[in-house]
Amino acid sequence: MEINNIVRLLRENGRVCLQEGAGRKIELIDPDQYDEGNDQSAIYLLTDLFQIRALAGQFSEIALDIVEYATKPTIYTSFASPLLSKGPVKDGKVKFGILKQGFWNKVVFSFSRPLLYKEVFEQEEAGTIKEKFPLFRPDVKRLFLSPEGDVKIGN
C-alpha cells in the first residue's frame, strides 16, 4: 500500500488498519478522531523533537537529549501537557515514540501531524505493508522521562 493512499484514508476516515511486515495489525488514528472510551492504549507517533512540546508538559533538556540521541526504538512516557485535551492520557501520563527514518516516518510526516497507533486483532486491514513496524521489535526500550530530568527504565 502506498503512503499517499494511507494518508488519504486517514484524512477521509480518521483511522486506517494495516498489516505490517511481521504480520501484526496496526491501527493508525488521527488524534482529532480518537474516542476510545476507557481504552487508553494508543501511543503517539512523532517525527520531530519539537512535537514533544504539544504532548508533554514540562520536559527537561536532559530528557530532550535522551530522545534526540536514542539509537534504538523507544517508547517514552511523560506527564501529559494540560493543553492536551483529547487523546490517550492515562493517570496524567502520555506515551509516544519518535520515528526518525524509514517508511513509517514517511507516513507520519506525510500526514503533517502526530498520529496515534495501537495494535489491533480483529479488524479488517485496508492493506499490507512489507516494512516491519519499528515499535514492535523485541529490543524496544521503554523509558519514563520526568520534568526534572529523572529517567526510569520500564519493562
CA separation (Å) from 134 to 19, 119, 139, 147, 154? 13, 13, 10, 26, 18
Domain that holds residue 98: 3-153
Nearest Cα neighbor of 118 from 16, 27, 34 is: 27
Amino acid found at 144: F
Domain CATH code at residue 70: 3.90.870.10
Q: What pLDDT score was predicted for residue 38? A: 63
Question: How many structural domains compose the chain?
Answer: 1
Per-residue pLDDT of the chain (155 residues; tens, 9 = 90+): 899 999 999 999 999 999 999 999 999 999 988 887 767 789 999 999 889 988 987 878 888 898 999 889 999 999 999 888 778 988 889 999 999 999 999 999 999 999 999 999 888 888 999 999 999 988 899 999 988 888 888 76
The pTM score is: 0.92
